[in-house]
Amino acid sequence: MKKFFWSALEILETIVISFLAVFIIRTFLFQPFLVSGASMEPNFSSGDYLLVDEISYRFREPQRGEVVVFEPPLGGSYFIKRIIGLPDEKIVIQNGEIIIFDRQGNKMALKEDYLPANIKTFGDLEVTLKSDQYFVLGDNRNFSFDSRSWGALSGEKIVGFARVRIWPITAAMAFGTPAY
C-alpha cells in the first residue's frame, strides 16, 4: 500500500510541476498566437502559428519594424500589426508614402523592403504620437484595420512581439527587426 501511495504522490508531483512550468512560461515568457485574417499578408497568413516573446519588452522598448501582438484599443481578440511609428514621432502618410519625423525633427521616408513593391499605403494622414504611443499598420495595407482607423496604440496594450513562426512547418522561421 505504501508503494502505491508513493507512486501516486510522485505522479501528482510531476503533474503539478508541469502545470506550474507551463503557467510560468505562458504568462511571463512566450505565448502562442494563431494568426486570423489577411491583414498581415504576404508575410503572415491566416492559420500561421506564432510564438510571441512577452519578456523582451520588460527590458527594452519596442522597435520600428517589429511585428507586435496587442489588445486592440476597441476591445476583442488580440491583433497583430507592424510598428511603424515610435513615441514622440510625427507620422505623415501622403501619396502612398510614409514619412516619419523623429524626436529631433529628422525626416525619414520609410523604405519597407519586406513588402511587395506594388503595395502602397492609402489615405492622407498626419499623426503626432505621445510619449507612450505607437503607430501600427498591417502589411496588407488595403485590408488592414489599424492605426489609420482607430488611432495610436498605447504601449501598455502591447503583449509582445512575434519571435518565431512554428506552423506551417514549411514556413517555420525566426524573425528579426528589419533595417530601415
List the catalytic residue out of 36, 45, 56, 81. 81
Computed from CA positions of residues 9, 10, 15, 20, in that sequence, does the dihedral angle turn out positive or negative?
positive
Q: Which residues are bridge partners to 107 per DSSP?
A: 101
> What is the rounded CA–CA span in Å between residue 113 and residue 178?
8
Q: DSSP letters of 68-108?
A: EEE--TT-SS-EEEEEEE-TT-EEEEETBEEEEE-TT--EE
Q: Is 81 a catalytic residue?
A: yes
Q: Is 130 a catalytic residue?
A: no
List the catalytic residue out of 7, 18, 36, 39. 39
- Cis check for the bond before 62: say yes or no (omega within 30 of 0): no
> What is the rounded CA–CA span in Å between residue 5 and residue 101?
68
List, by residue number, the catalytic residues: 39, 81
